[in-house]
Amino acid sequence: MTFQPTFDFAQQMDAQDPLRHFREQYLFPQHQGQNGLYFCGNSLGLQPKKARVFLEEELHRWSELGVEGHFEGELPWTQYHKALAPASAHIVGAQEDEVIIMNTLSVNLHLMMVSFYRPTTQRFKIIMEAGAFPSDQYAVESQVRWHGFDPAEAIVEVAPRPGEALLHTEDILAAIAQHGEQTALVLFAGLNYFTGQVYDMPAITEAGHRVGAYVGFDLAHAAGNVLLNLHDWEVDFAVWCTYKYINSGPGALSGTFVHTKHGHNPQIPRFAGWWGHNEERRFLMEKGFDPIPGAAGWQLSNAPIFAFAPMKASHDLFMEATMPALRAKSEKLTAYLEYLIDLINAEKNRFEIITPRDPAQRGAQLSLLTGPEGKQLFDYIAQNGVICDWRENNLPGEKGGKAGVIRFAPAPMYNSFEDVWKLVELLKNFDS
């Protein structure tokens, strides 16, 4: 579409936005008595107003029912996790029995690797992207060592080409093919936290399966952000946090996907807990683990209800808004931010966008590689009510010489075109 760099145009876009009313369902940090400009949904999403309501409801039930709250009421605590399944399945493109909310991301990643990284002397390698988020790096390294292998030999990292910030899909597929017979697991992020690049998950999955490896994804920055279709892509497993784009609260519980072809196979090795045991026999306290069919069979413990309640507030909004509608708005919001930054650069080249230009290869994020004044710029916009994210530059090669990266994430659930316009006005007026 054709954009215009005016405040009136931004307001017109907001007036035409069919999702504009969802903004009123969230609480914004304040700046000088007004809503601040919040562009940090890629780190922590905003609080849904109903989170407090749902949490207080469970506190009241605890006070009224005590332990009987596990079994009584409209939504008994033993069944609470099932109320989140429809939205979780919708967000990641899965069947309801393929998803479960439990634990935190790193815990779930380890649990999945227990089941899907079972190396042998011939097939022991893990292929992943270079510079992955530390959650993945540390988990992979420790799992490899736990099995008695040397990370330097067992972990294959696919890096950008010299002088570039982004990965080429053909390089990922070539690495999988090259190490094929030795590859036990292909583990990538769905979306790179630093650059905002979305990886070609269907192609990676197909390539991994072609060489006989399992394929999993860390969707921390992809879930609730881009359209996913894990079931049809035949991904073996995935994990994600829910406190970023899914707005479930700081440190919120994690989501896990296990494809039905594995979830209905009780013979798959796993670490077991009583909450993953046959529901009809759970309270008989007998020996012999009998897993619940589906992803729920990987549960360990009964869930913290006071963590579930805010999640329900958020997940309900996703079901109402729908991922296709959110994604459609997201593409426009991010494109508008890109357009306005390009206008600044047309006068004086100040910001290098390292996020892909192709909307299909990025989510609700633009990463700006800055020069020596980068941290000064970040502090300036923060003082003017902008909440975003600063990262030290860890890019390889010549691109590693610049100061750092500012990540802006215009989240479609609550950000507006007016927000974007006001942000870029601040960038335009910055004088180092």
- What local confidence, expressed as pLDDT, does residue 431 receive? 76
Rounded Cα–Cα distance for residues 419 and 39 (Å): 9
Would you identify the CATH topology of the domain 7-47+323-429?
Aspartate Aminotransferase, domain 1 (3.90.1150)
pLDDT at 402 over 70: no
Cβ(157)–Cβ(183) below 8 Å: no
Q: Does domain 54-321 have CATH number 3.40.50.10540?
A: no
What is the per-residue pLDDT across 35-82, written as a single tens digit (0 to 9) for each?
999 999 999 999 999 999 999 999 999 999 999 999 998 899 999 999
The one-letter amino acid code at 427 reads L
- What local confidence, expressed as pLDDT, does residue 397 receive? 56
Domain boundaries, the chain: 7-47+323-429, 54-321
pLDDT at 394 over 80: no
Nearest partner of 13 among 424, 5, 428, 226, judged by Cα: 5
Chain-wide mean pLDDT for the chain? 95
- What local confidence, expressed as pLDDT, does residue 392 receive? 81
pTM of the model: 0.95
- What local confidence, expressed as pLDDT, does residue 432 receive? 61
Token readout for 49 is: 């107003």
Rounded Cα–Cα distance for residues 85 and 102 (Å): 11
Return the number of other C-beta atoms located less than 10 Å from residue 268's C-beta: 16
pLDDT at 358 over 60: yes
